[in-house]
Structure 1
Amino acid sequence: MEGAGVEDGKNVCMNDLQGLCGNVDGECSRKEKVQVLQEGEEVYSAVLTQTDLGANKNKFYIVQLHKDITGKEYYVWHHWGRIGYKGRHMEKKCGLLEAKKIFLQKFKDKTGNEWEKREQFQKKRDLYDLMKMETKFEFPQMEKELKSIAMQTSKLDKKVQELVNLLYNTEVIEKTMESMGYNQKQSPLGKMTLQQVMDGYAALKEVELCIENEASKEELTVACTKYYTKIPHKFGGVCGRREEDSEFMITLVFGFSVDIFFIVAALAALYDIQMTGLKSKEHDSMYYTFFFAIMKRPPLITTQEQIEAELELLEMVQKYLNGTHESDHNEYTMEMLDVFKVSKKELPFEDVGNRRLLWHGSRLSNWAGILTQGLRVAPPEAPSTGYMFGKGVYFADRSSKSCNYCRTNKEENVGLALLCEVALGESHELVAANKNAHQLPPGKKSVKGLGQIAPDSKENLTMSCGTVVPLGKGIPTGVQNKNGITLRFNEYVVYDTKQIKLRYLVKVKFNWK
């Protein structure tokens, strides 16, 4: 029944499958007229996957028991195909007892497990795995409630309202997930659980160990297959090509960005905010979750002294943004739209000295999580591959180096960058990549990756609080890594988030050439 699946037309990626627990499959033409049968806690819906990179298998199978809204007719729904493609489907109309019998037998045939014992599910060789679904919240419903609440009158400054709306832009999050191999148009983003992502990270770590230990291609393929089983998504039809070497496999697997952890965490944070603060009498409570204060020209401040101080700060941020946009990054120019003060007093700050005001950029989908929970180090489960100096929080003294990580383009040309007060302490200076750099030598509190270009220290600005702003024009340093690639610009890495204080959020328009 599965072998001749239609693989054209509208794609079905794995996150189309994520929302199916209790929801009618979106491919069902009568989805408005039927519902998934639920008896007490038992929901007759199963999403199954089978992945084997060595055999170029990456399949899904959905089986559901539907009843029409009158409760008089029952159907067994089947939908199968290759992940990333539309696939094929069929349904059978029958009585309730026969429908249950077909459903239970299909589940057993595909998985080798009894439906009644699915809580003790054991993956069987050459059979399908069962995806465990998260049903706590649905993103479309969350967005619907947000829109209804947004109709209420807000007392916030218009610029702050625009910023919060930008942070809650579900279309941006959907596009980000699509770029990672997920199609979000039919199902809730929140169906991917943090535990699922953590399991995926653990599987990626096995892949990393295979690479480090120069394991056989067969062992590497098994490890990669395990990863795609934990977080299934489209990998195309190339995996069956036996001539592909380990490098291709590495690129394939690590192409799925670790940003997904932060996106899912952000979704959880947004849900918590929506379910608590936004349902309170004070509509603007989401503002208090982020603690923004708008900086404007002219500022809404009463005394001349305060006005001058605020304008001086704005001018500094403007100079820091445009004056440290290096010519290497010439695909765009940057225009400062707004600057917001960020106050997260509940986040601890440990001043170990040598404080610098440094840039950190990230894609829009990550900012709700960053601004509610602070900057975070990737979890231990995540592999260290892709981090030049190990898993930490990375900063730069050149605006364009950090703003490249905003991942904007000509269509989505507005991004956010953060200026943070970073207590570097005594830095461990490195010129070569070291994934174990987080194991700092005694007395060192951070890592500084030395670049070929660094700010002229003669042009440093010291703020009234004692924090140094490296505003200087970039000048050659003479630094050279004789054994490999040399960084073009400095990088600063801290491994303890208590050394970071969020100060200013800069809204930037990228004028792409």
Structure 2
Amino acid sequence: MPPKRKAAAAKAGGKKKKVEDPPATDSKSDIKKKVEALKTAEKGKKKTYVVDSYYSGSGAVYEDFDCMLNQTNISQNNNKYYVIQLIQSGKNYTVWSRWGRVGEPGANQMTSFSDVSQAIKSFEKKFQDKTRNKWAERANFAPVAGKYTLIEVEQSEDVKEDLKKLSELEAGGSKTTTKSSEYAPSKLDTPTQKLLDLIFDNNMFQEQMANFELDVKKMPLGKLSKAQLAKGFDALEDIETAINNKAGTKKLQELSSRFYTLIPHSFGRKLPPTISDAETLQNKKDMLLVLSDIVIAQDIKREQDETMSQSQAAVAPNPLDVNYELLKCKLEHLAPKSKEHKVISTYVDQTKGGWRQAKLLNVWKVAREGEDKRFAAHDSIENRRLLWHGTNVAVVAAILKTGLRIMPHSGGRVGCGIYFASEHAKSAAYVRSTNNGTGIMFLNEVVLGKEHHITQGDGSLKKAPSGYNCIIAKGRQEPDPKKDTNLVLDGKKVAVPQGKPVNQSKYNNSHFSQSEYLVYSESQNRIRYMLEFNFH
């Protein structure tokens, strides 16, 4: 039986029990910068608030009187939320409250007023009772032990629409799409249309979040803001420090409770688990990175909605085509008879194996806007290789949009860099596919230059030694180098393995069974191909 994969991200190398190749996405610092940019961009714009989906009456949220609170305390098995809203319907005002364990509808209460000032007082008193913070001073919210914490969510009408779609999907319906007759026909080929459907599919995002015990519908917390995700990273850093300092169970429970309060999890009635080891900690970091990438995909979808709503065409543009244009990434579907496809297919067949079997479905040639210019900085270096990088299907849209990046929260046996492998089986072991087995992998041209070889892991590495361009953790086996071929990409020869892995006697004592290739400069890699597989 294959080992159960706890890792969220797919990467090229490392122990199978440890995540080492995080999804390329926003880091904490990136998120914080984006938050500030978002605040600036949103100045003067009216924010939309959505009435809680469990409220049975009519009306709208009055001004900005809307909050989501959360509290987790592992020692007491508490994992609960509290919603408070002030809802206006004509001249009537209702303070609506709903509370319960995360993942459950919970109980609710409605208190009606004809005087808005009395309704506001009731709302503010309830908020202060639950948080020990004043509503008027919520911008400087300070969490209080034993009380609820304010959770920042990005509320808009699309949250309500997303939850509606997810409900329909859970009920067994098909994907919620508008009839094709309402749109112009797509200009994309059929495989690419299906790919776009997949990488922006809410059902797929829901599946991947469920793997982390998160559920955007049952969690009843809307969409966590980028600022809230940054707070989650801060909490994990505190846990990491405590683990390194060998803190006791009580301290780790307190810190884990804080993390679950900031990033609500749906554990059902189970006791929330304490984050007490490096593997669990890395899982949570990867979870936040995946959530950050889902935010990127959702941002693209919001841009799509804006683009389509602003269109003056008699027939609305096809939403798949709009998403494709917003990715700013050219995807060329390769015919199976093409030379490139045949070379890639051989690469797959000769280096696949292990406990995950994969059937190649489609191959696309990839050209990200601007990536060629960045990559050109290494034109003078000739040692290039086409290498594997696996990933979570939920982050594919973000990777196509932003490329692979080195993230401060990433880590692994060869430090903080971008991980690649020369064997399909190595990267495939880390792919997170959909429930029906669809997974995505990338083949990147990697500028290796002068190689520094190691045979033991070193998680502190952040760059190659002086005079070297990369680090290769040499494995005890490697695809037979005698059978390598070359593809000529933009005038450069790029080596492509074509042989089965063979023993490397020189590295019989290596701690790595299969080689891992590390670059510590983002510009040293360029996405060349994207492959769709069915994993079983």
TM-score by length of 2: 0.77
Ranges in structure 1 where 5+ consecutive residues have no aligned partner: 1-19, 299-310
Q: Does the Cα contact within 8 Å between 1:21 and 1:133 map onto a contact in 2?
A: no
Change (3 A) 1:446 1:269: farther
Q: CA deviation at 1:468?
A: 0.5
The aligned counterpart of 2:205 is 173
> 3-state DSSP class of the match of 2:493?
coil
Letter in 2 for 1:44: F
Whole-Å separation in 1 of the counterparts to 2:156 and 2:406 = 26
Whole-Å separation in 2 of the counterparts to 1:428 and 1:278 = 53
The aligned counterpart of 1:395 is 420
Change (3 A) 1:476 1:374: same
Whole-Å separation in 2 of the counterparts to 1:189 and 1:355 = 46
Whole-Å separation in 1 of the counterparts to 2:240 and 2:232 = 12
Instruction: Select 1:287's aligned residue among 324, 337, 341.
Output: 324
Whole-Å separation in 1 of the counterparts to 2:235 and 2:410 = 9
Letter in 2 for 1:127: K
Whole-Å separation in 1 of the counterparts to 2:310 and 2:365 = 26
Whole-Å separation in 2 of the counterparts to 1:254 and 1:145 = 34
The aligned counterpart of 1:495 is 520
Q: Which moved more, 1:467-476 or 1:85-94?
A: 85-94
The aligned counterpart of 1:134 is 154
Q: Does the Cα contact within 8 Å between 1:146 and 1:274 map onto a contact in 2?
A: no
Instruction: Select 2:107's aligned residue among 88, 94, 100.
Output: 88
> 3-state DSSP class of the match of 2:460?
coil
Question: Cα RMSD (Å) of the superposition?
Answer: 3.1
> 3-state DSSP class of the match of 1:185?
coil
Q: Which moved more, 1:254-263 or 1:390-399?
A: 254-263
The aligned counterpart of 2:473 is 449
- Residues 1:374 and 2:394 are matched in the alignment: no
Letter in 2 for 1:290: C
The aligned counterpart of 2:68 is 47
Q: Which moved more, 1:77-86 or 1:352-361?
A: 77-86
Matches within 5 A, 1:76-225: 76-97=95-116, 98-135=118-155, 138-139=158-159, 141=161, 147=178, 151-185=183-217, 191-225=223-257
> 3-state DSSP class of the match of 2:59?
strand
Instruction: Select 1:414's aligned residue among 438, 446, 461.
Output: 438
Instruction: Select 2:264's aligned residue among 212, 217, 232.
Output: 232
Change (3 A) 1:166 1:442: same
Q: Which moved more, 1:456-465 or 1:153-162?
A: 153-162
Instruction: Select 1:320's aligned residue among 329, 344, 347.
Output: 347
Whole-Å separation in 2 of the counterparts to 1:399 and 1:111 = 51
Q: CA deviation at 1:297?
A: 4.6
Change (3 A) 1:100 1:176: same
Runs of 4+ in structure 1 deviating by more than 6 angstroms, as ranges, are 142-146, 186-190
Change (3 A) 1:188 1:369: farther
Could you tell me the percent identity over the aligned residues?
29
Q: Does the Cα contact within 8 Å between 2:226 and 2:292 map onto a contact in 1?
A: yes
Change (3 A) 1:270 1:320: farther
Q: CA deviation at 1:316?
A: 0.5
Q: Does the Cα contact within 8 Å between 1:194 and 1:265 map onto a contact in 2?
A: no
The aligned counterpart of 1:58 is 79
1:38-87 CA-to-partner distances (Å, cap 9, x unmatched) read 2xxx322221112233443322111122234xx24433222112223332
> 3-state DSSP class of the match of 2:293?
helix
Q: CA deviation at 1:179?
A: 1.8
Letter in 1 for 2:477: I
- Residues 1:263 and 2:290 are matched in the alignment: no
Whole-Å separation in 2 of the counterparts to 1:278 and 1:360 = 37
TM-score by length of 1: 0.80
Letter in 1 for 2:402: Q
Ranges in structure 2 where 5+ consecutive residues have no aligned partner: 1-46, 166-174
Whole-Å separation in 1 of the counterparts to 2:282 and 2:269 = 17
Whole-Å separation in 1 of the counterparts to 2:310 and 2:441 = 29
Q: Does the Cα contact within 8 Å between 2:382 and 2:493 map onto a contact in 1?
A: no
Q: Does the Cα contact within 8 Å between 2:476 and 2:508 map onto a contact in 1?
A: yes
Whole-Å separation in 2 of the counterparts to 1:101 and 1:194 = 30
Q: CA deviation at 1:202?
A: 2.0
Change (3 A) 1:53 1:495: farther
Change (3 A) 1:123 1:134: same
> 3-state DSSP class of the match of 1:406?
coil
Whole-Å separation in 2 of the counterparts to 1:222 and 1:471 = 52
Change (3 A) 1:46 1:189: closer
Letter in 2 for 1:337: L
Change (3 A) 1:84 1:55: same
Letter in 2 for 1:104: E
Q: Does the Cα contact within 8 Å between 2:307 and 2:322 map onto a contact in 1?
A: no
The aligned counterpart of 2:367 is 343
Change (3 A) 1:87 1:433: farther
- Residues 1:475 and 2:507 are matched in the alignment: no
Q: CA deviation at 1:345?
A: 4.2
Whole-Å separation in 2 of the counterparts to 1:188 and 1:312 = 50
Instruction: Select 1:362's aligned residue among 391, 396, 414.
Output: 391
